[in-house]
Amino acid sequence: MVPEHFRQIECLIVMTKLSEPGPPIPGKRHNGEPEDEPEYFYPCPICGQLVDMRDLRQIMWHARPGHKPLDIGP
């Protein structure tokens, strides 16, 4: 029998699709909106994927050590 907290950790490890963390969590910039669309993104230092800073789900995913790239497809 596996304790509940271990099952929750296992679930987090296998979740790699953007739809799995739930609906988008929009954020607001403190310094106003950027002039160009590319300014919304930064490359993740762990996996190299571009992260949309307007979506807290992506930011939280890429903050985890040792994560894999997130499947952003439909």
> What is the domain range of residue 21?
4-62
Q: Has residue 67 been placed in a domain?
A: no
Collapsing DSSP to helix, strand or coil, 48 comes out as coil
Residues in the chain where the model's pLDDT stays below 70: 1-21, 25, 29, 74
Question: Is 38 within a domain?
Answer: yes
What pLDDT was estimated at residue 49?
A: 95
Look at residue 61 in the predicted model and tell me its pLDDT.
Answer: 92
Cα dist. 45→21, 23, 33, 73 in Å? Answer: 21, 25, 24, 21
pTM > 0.85 = no
Q: Is residue 22 part of a domain?
A: yes
